[in-house]
A = this chain, B = another copy of it.
Amino acid sequence: MNRRLTTRGKERRRQLLEFATQRFADNGYHPTSVAEIVQGLGVGKGVFYWYFDSKEQLFIEILREAQQDLRRTQQQAIEGEDDPIARIELGIRSTMLWSAEHENYYKLTQFAITEERFLPSLRKGQEVAIKDVMRHVQDGIDRGLIRDTSADYIAQGILGLSTQLVRVFIHEKHRSPDEVADEAIALILDGIHTGDRSAAAPI
Protein backbone atom coordinates (compact mmCIF):
# COMPACT_ATOMS: atom_id res chain seq x y z
CA MET A 1 0.00 0.00 0.00
CA ASN A 2 2.21 2.82 -1.20
CA ARG A 3 -0.09 5.65 -2.14
CA ARG A 4 0.84 9.19 -2.93
CA LEU A 5 -0.66 11.09 -0.02
CA THR A 6 -1.63 14.73 0.09
CA THR A 7 -1.25 16.71 3.29
CA ARG A 8 -4.81 15.81 4.11
CA GLY A 9 -4.06 12.15 3.39
CA LYS A 10 -1.04 12.10 5.69
CA GLU A 11 -3.09 13.71 8.40
CA ARG A 12 -5.81 11.08 8.07
CA ARG A 13 -3.27 8.28 8.14
CA ARG A 14 -1.77 9.68 11.30
CA GLN A 15 -5.19 9.91 12.93
CA LEU A 16 -5.82 6.25 12.15
CA LEU A 17 -2.45 5.19 13.53
CA GLU A 18 -2.88 7.12 16.75
CA PHE A 19 -6.46 6.14 17.41
CA ALA A 20 -5.76 2.49 16.66
CA THR A 21 -2.71 2.53 18.94
CA GLN A 22 -4.84 3.83 21.77
CA ARG A 23 -7.56 1.24 21.30
CA PHE A 24 -5.16 -1.66 20.83
CA ALA A 25 -3.37 -0.69 24.02
CA ASP A 26 -6.60 -0.25 25.98
CA ASN A 27 -8.62 -3.21 24.76
CA GLY A 28 -6.17 -5.50 23.04
CA TYR A 29 -5.52 -6.12 19.38
CA HIS A 30 -8.17 -8.75 18.66
CA PRO A 31 -10.99 -7.21 20.64
CA THR A 32 -10.54 -3.93 18.75
CA SER A 33 -12.34 -4.11 15.41
CA VAL A 34 -11.74 -2.09 12.29
CA ALA A 35 -15.35 -0.89 12.53
CA GLU A 36 -14.61 0.46 16.00
CA ILE A 37 -11.59 2.36 14.76
CA VAL A 38 -13.35 4.10 11.88
CA GLN A 39 -16.38 4.83 14.03
CA GLY A 40 -14.13 6.44 16.59
CA LEU A 41 -12.92 8.80 13.90
CA GLY A 42 -16.40 9.25 12.45
CA VAL A 43 -15.41 8.09 8.97
CA GLY A 44 -16.46 5.30 6.64
CA LYS A 45 -14.84 1.92 6.59
CA GLY A 46 -13.32 2.47 3.16
CA VAL A 47 -11.05 5.11 4.65
CA PHE A 48 -9.25 2.47 6.67
CA TYR A 49 -8.60 0.29 3.64
CA TRP A 50 -7.50 3.28 1.61
CA TYR A 51 -4.53 3.76 3.92
CA PHE A 52 -3.81 0.21 5.06
CA ASP A 53 -3.96 -3.22 3.46
CA SER A 54 -5.27 -4.89 6.56
CA LYS A 55 -5.62 -4.59 10.29
CA GLU A 56 -2.52 -6.73 10.64
CA GLN A 57 -0.41 -4.46 8.48
CA LEU A 58 -1.55 -1.45 10.47
CA PHE A 59 -0.41 -3.11 13.66
CA ILE A 60 2.99 -3.94 12.21
CA GLU A 61 3.31 -0.35 11.08
CA ILE A 62 2.64 0.84 14.62
CA LEU A 63 5.32 -1.48 15.98
CA ARG A 64 7.83 -0.26 13.44
CA GLU A 65 7.25 3.39 14.27
CA ALA A 66 7.54 2.73 17.98
CA GLN A 67 10.85 0.93 17.61
CA GLN A 68 12.18 3.69 15.40
CA ASP A 69 11.15 6.39 17.82
CA LEU A 70 12.68 4.67 20.85
CA ARG A 71 15.94 4.03 19.06
CA ARG A 72 16.19 7.65 17.93
CA THR A 73 15.64 8.75 21.51
CA GLN A 74 18.39 6.45 22.78
CA GLN A 75 20.85 7.52 20.12
CA GLN A 76 20.31 11.17 20.95
CA ALA A 77 20.79 10.47 24.63
CA ILE A 78 24.16 8.80 24.32
CA GLU A 79 25.76 10.82 21.56
CA GLY A 80 28.96 12.53 22.61
CA GLU A 81 29.54 10.20 25.55
CA ASP A 82 32.63 8.06 25.26
CA ASP A 83 32.70 5.87 28.37
CA PRO A 84 30.83 2.62 27.60
CA ILE A 85 29.38 2.29 31.08
CA ALA A 86 28.12 5.84 30.95
CA ARG A 87 26.61 5.06 27.55
CA ILE A 88 24.76 2.10 28.98
CA GLU A 89 23.55 4.21 31.84
CA LEU A 90 22.36 6.98 29.54
CA GLY A 91 20.64 4.42 27.34
CA ILE A 92 18.77 3.01 30.31
CA ARG A 93 17.77 6.43 31.56
CA SER A 94 16.43 7.54 28.20
CA THR A 95 14.59 4.25 27.79
CA MET A 96 12.89 4.67 31.14
CA LEU A 97 11.80 8.18 30.24
CA TRP A 98 10.55 7.10 26.85
CA SER A 99 8.67 4.14 28.30
CA ALA A 100 6.98 6.34 30.84
CA GLU A 101 5.74 8.58 28.05
CA HIS A 102 4.77 5.80 25.66
CA GLU A 103 3.02 3.19 27.76
CA ASN A 104 0.82 2.34 24.78
CA TYR A 105 3.69 1.29 22.58
CA TYR A 106 5.07 -0.74 25.41
CA LYS A 107 1.82 -2.67 25.81
CA LEU A 108 1.58 -3.36 22.10
CA THR A 109 5.08 -4.75 22.05
CA GLN A 110 4.22 -7.08 24.90
CA PHE A 111 1.26 -8.41 22.96
CA ALA A 112 3.18 -8.80 19.74
CA ILE A 113 5.45 -11.31 21.47
CA THR A 114 2.51 -13.65 21.88
CA GLU A 115 1.57 -14.16 18.24
CA GLU A 116 3.80 -15.92 15.80
CA ARG A 117 2.97 -13.66 12.90
CA PHE A 118 4.20 -10.54 14.68
CA LEU A 119 7.47 -12.02 15.82
CA PRO A 120 9.43 -11.21 12.65
CA SER A 121 8.73 -7.49 12.92
CA LEU A 122 9.58 -7.62 16.61
CA ARG A 123 12.82 -9.49 16.28
CA LYS A 124 14.24 -6.96 13.86
CA GLY A 125 13.84 -4.19 16.41
CA GLN A 126 14.97 -6.33 19.32
CA GLU A 127 18.09 -7.35 17.47
CA VAL A 128 19.01 -3.76 16.83
CA ALA A 129 18.50 -2.92 20.50
CA ILE A 130 20.57 -5.88 21.64
CA LYS A 131 23.35 -5.05 19.22
CA ASP A 132 23.44 -1.49 20.52
CA VAL A 133 23.82 -2.68 24.09
CA MET A 134 26.26 -5.44 23.18
CA ARG A 135 28.55 -2.99 21.46
CA HIS A 136 28.87 -0.96 24.63
CA VAL A 137 29.26 -4.07 26.75
CA GLN A 138 32.02 -5.44 24.54
CA ASP A 139 33.68 -2.06 24.56
CA GLY A 140 33.52 -2.09 28.35
CA ILE A 141 35.00 -5.58 28.49
CA ASP A 142 37.84 -4.55 26.19
CA ARG A 143 38.67 -1.61 28.42
CA GLY A 144 38.54 -3.75 31.55
CA LEU A 145 35.50 -1.93 32.91
CA ILE A 146 33.12 -4.84 32.63
CA ARG A 147 33.58 -8.40 33.85
CA ASP A 148 34.71 -10.57 30.99
CA THR A 149 31.75 -12.87 30.48
CA SER A 150 29.37 -13.42 27.61
CA ALA A 151 28.35 -10.03 26.29
CA ASP A 152 25.08 -11.40 24.97
CA TYR A 153 23.94 -12.63 28.37
CA ILE A 154 24.78 -9.27 29.85
CA ALA A 155 22.95 -7.36 27.12
CA GLN A 156 19.83 -9.52 27.37
CA GLY A 157 19.97 -9.33 31.14
CA ILE A 158 20.06 -5.54 31.04
CA LEU A 159 17.11 -5.48 28.68
CA GLY A 160 15.04 -7.93 30.70
CA LEU A 161 15.71 -6.29 34.04
CA SER A 162 14.93 -2.84 32.66
CA THR A 163 11.75 -4.03 30.97
CA GLN A 164 10.39 -5.58 34.15
CA LEU A 165 11.18 -2.53 36.27
CA VAL A 166 9.47 -0.33 33.69
CA ARG A 167 6.35 -2.45 33.75
CA VAL A 168 6.04 -2.75 37.48
CA PHE A 169 7.42 0.49 38.84
CA ILE A 170 6.63 2.96 36.10
CA HIS A 171 3.45 1.65 34.56
CA GLU A 172 1.86 -0.04 37.55
CA LYS A 173 3.26 1.75 40.59
CA HIS A 174 3.84 5.10 38.89
CA ARG A 175 7.26 5.76 40.34
CA SER A 176 9.39 8.39 38.65
CA PRO A 177 11.52 7.25 35.71
CA ASP A 178 14.56 8.73 37.44
CA GLU A 179 14.13 6.67 40.56
CA VAL A 180 13.55 3.51 38.56
CA ALA A 181 16.60 4.22 36.40
CA ASP A 182 18.75 4.69 39.51
CA GLU A 183 17.73 1.32 40.89
CA ALA A 184 18.13 -0.42 37.56
CA ILE A 185 21.61 0.93 37.05
CA ALA A 186 22.70 0.07 40.59
CA LEU A 187 21.54 -3.52 40.18
CA ILE A 188 23.07 -3.92 36.76
CA LEU A 189 26.45 -2.54 37.70
CA ASP A 190 26.94 -4.22 41.04
CA GLY A 191 24.35 -6.91 41.53
CA ILE A 192 22.86 -7.63 44.90
CA HIS A 193 25.88 -8.78 46.85
CA THR A 194 27.28 -6.63 49.57
CA GLY A 195 30.93 -5.79 49.18
CA ASP A 196 33.47 -3.02 49.66
CA ARG A 197 33.30 -1.96 46.04
CA SER A 198 29.55 -1.44 45.96
CA ALA A 199 29.84 1.93 47.64
CA ALA A 200 31.80 3.17 44.66
CA ALA A 201 29.02 2.32 42.23
CA PRO A 202 27.94 5.80 41.09
CA ILE A 203 29.75 6.74 37.93
Contact = CB atoms under 8 A, between A and B. Distances in A.
B191 A190 contact: yes
A193 to B, nearest CB: 5
A114 B28 contact: yes
Interface residues of A, number: 53
B114 A194 contact: no
Contacts of A144: 194
Contacts of A187: 153-154, 157, 191
Nearest to A26: B116
B137 A153 contact: no
Interface string A162-187: 11110111000000000000011011
Interface in A79-134: 107, 110-111, 113-116
B184 A157 contact: yes
A156 B4 CA distance: 48
Given A157-B161, A193-B197, 13 more contacts: A110-B113, A114-B114, A145-B193, A147-B198, A156-B168, A157-B164, A157-B183, A159-B164, A160-B161, A160-B167, A164-B164, A187-B191, A188-B191
